[in-house]
Amino acid sequence: MRDELLGYLLGSLEPHEVERLEEELRSNPQLQQELEVLSEALAPLAEEEDHHEPPPGLALRTCEHVHASARVTVESRVETVGSRLGWSVQDFMVAAGIMIAASMLFFPAVSHSRFQAQLAMCQNNLRMIGTGVTNYSQAHGSYFPAVAARHGRAVPAAFASLLARTGFVEGSQPFVCPSSATAEQRCFRLPTPEQIDEYGIDQLRRVCRNISGNYCATAGYRDATGYHSPRNFHRESFAIVADAPCQQRGEHQSSNHGGDGQNVLFEDGHVVYLHNCNCERGTAGDDIFRNDAGKIAAGSHRDDSVITFRVVEFESANADAE
């Protein structure tokens, strides 16, 4: 019966077994007490939600620790809990071993499955955004969304508002990564392009991190002739949108997905999950969050992609800016 109670708590019983056990629980107070004890013992194991690989030798060290300390810790409770439930020290040790073994298999598997599901949903968001920006470019002379040169600045983060306003992406939710804190709040709304235009330069610097949800777009590039809006050449190695970078991380890697990496949308429409900030361009790695000069700014030439939410300032926009 104890095995069934453990299976009930871990969700491993068949539906008919659950129904039978719940019926017995309703009429058996002692069984309810046993379930409560097991539930309290398992509760701390379920609090960890992050994706972690178990360290080598964890199982062996855990079993050795249980063998060395279980008798001391359990015997102190046998007189109270054991007498109430009719469990011996050996029963507790067996139950503890089962719970440890089950938790090592069950909870990491659940955490990993959750991580993979959120990763896939994020990639689906980027594919929807990719369809939107591609259609936008086809309707705007091959140019991607960019803010006009008001106040001498370009704001890559405004791409989301432009796509939503023009109907190329529906609503705000495609711009929310399911693994982010924003997803838990369930109240994110994109600002309108008009609201963004009303921001002064200082205010814009403060809020630009949040105005495009959890994703950022390429900043275009600046050369000797001025600033150029990003343009669609359908390149397979040119990043155009990605999980937003985090300034608190050394390489500005995204804080989405537990800081393990970021999904990246490329100009030809495919999405890749990168564990670092470099994508392959021929034989050289291209940092998607910095330009070729190592700066968090607009690209230094047409093929230099920089994903950023920062305000890109320039003296005068090139005539091709849309």
**pLDDT tens, 45-61?**
544 445 555 566 655 66
Average pLDDT over residues 94-110: 64
Q: Which residues contact 69 (CB under 8 A, 6 or more apart)?
A: none
Residues 163, 264, single domain; the answer is yes
One domain for residues 201 and 147: yes
Least confident of 257-261, 283-287, 309-313, 318-322: 318-322
How many percent of the chain have pLDDT more than 90? Answer: 19
* 127 and 247 within one domain: yes
Residue 2 CA to residue 16 CA, distance in Å, equals 17
Phi, psi of 321 (to 5 degrees): -65, 130
Query: How many residues make up the chain in this entry?
Result: 322
Model pLDDT for residues 128-172, shown as the tens digit of each residue: 999 999 999 999 999 998 755 554 456 777 888 889 989 999 989
**Are 143 and 221 within one domain?**
yes
- % of the chain with per-residue pLDDT over 70: 62
Report if pTM > 0.75: no
Last residue of a domain, which of 94, 112, 130? Answer: 112
Contact 163, 137 (CB under 8 A): no
pLDDT of residue 213: 87
Listed residues 65, 80, 112: the one ending a domain: 112
H/E segment holding residue 312: strand 312-313
Q: Which residue has the higher pLDDT, 109 or 302?
A: 302
pLDDT at 94 over 60: yes
DSSP 79: I
> At 275, which amino acid appears?
H
**If you write DSSP's letter for every residue of 166-190 in order, what string do you get?**
TTSS-SSGGGS-TTSHHHHH----P
Between 44 and 272, where is the model more confident? Answer: 272
Domain assignment of residue 133, given as a range:
117-313
Query: From residue 144, how far is each of 39, 162, 218 by CA, in Å?
Result: 54, 10, 9
Task: Give me the pLDDT at residue 40, please.
Answer: 66
Task: Reply yes or no on whether the pLDDT at 87 is more than 80.
Answer: no
Answer with the residue of higher pLDDT: 70 or 181: 181
What pLDDT is stored for residue 286 in this prediction?
78
Point out the domain boundary residue: 48, 81, 112: 112
3-class DSSP state for residue 159? helix
**Higher-confidence residue: 24 or 292?**
292
Looking at the domain assignment, is residue 162 inside a domain?
yes
Domain count across the chain: 2
**Per-residue pLDDT, 242:** 93
pLDDT tens digits for 230-241? 899 999 989 999
